[in-house]
Amino acid sequence: MLPSLSLVLGGAASGKSTFAEMLVIGSGRPRVYLATAQAFDSEMEDKIARHQELRGQGWRTIEEPLEIGRTLAGISGDNAVLIDCATMWLSNHLLAENDLTEAEAGLMAGLALSAAPVVIVSNEVGDSVVPENRLARKFQIEQGRLNQKLAAKADLVVNVIAGLPQVLKGTLP
């Protein structure tokens, strides 16, 4: 049985999204893919298309780059939700110069009130070097803080490295 909140961490191209998809598929519930990415160039359009193709059929996709909390409220508890990913969501808010405290409060409220189990994917940024510019440093700090808050709330936390899951908290279903 899928916990009410699972967090799947990993570096870029670590296999975290594929692992998270397998968790949701394994729940046996109807699947909702809550996509946070925005395609501002052809490279990102291609990446999104590849993810959709690899994910395959059987997913209802909702594109929501900012208002994840509100969106979760409209999803039935019969479903299982995959949010991919918290990193893009945070980037969207940073680039829009939104109030991060307010945005995070909305996200956490939505997760707490979600009737459906949620698996959220996020990049682990703690193993990288200190970035050279102010915005990148702010992102790294905020992403680290967000991941810590999500991990504290989650019943299951998994770190994926080279496609291999390492359970940090909880037990795999």
Buried (b) or exposed (e) across 66-101, using 16+ Cβ within 10 A?
Answer: bebbebbeebeeebbbbbbbbbbbbbbbbeeeeeee
Please give the Cα distance from 8 to 17 (Å, whole number): 8
CB 103 within 8 A of CB 2: no
Q: Which run of H or E residues covers position 141?
A: helix 134-153
29, 51, 149, 169: the catalytic one is 51
Is residue 93 part of the annotated active site? The answer reads no
Q: Quote the crossing angle between the two packed helices 86-95 and 100-113, to the nearest 10°.
A: 150
Active-site residue set: 51
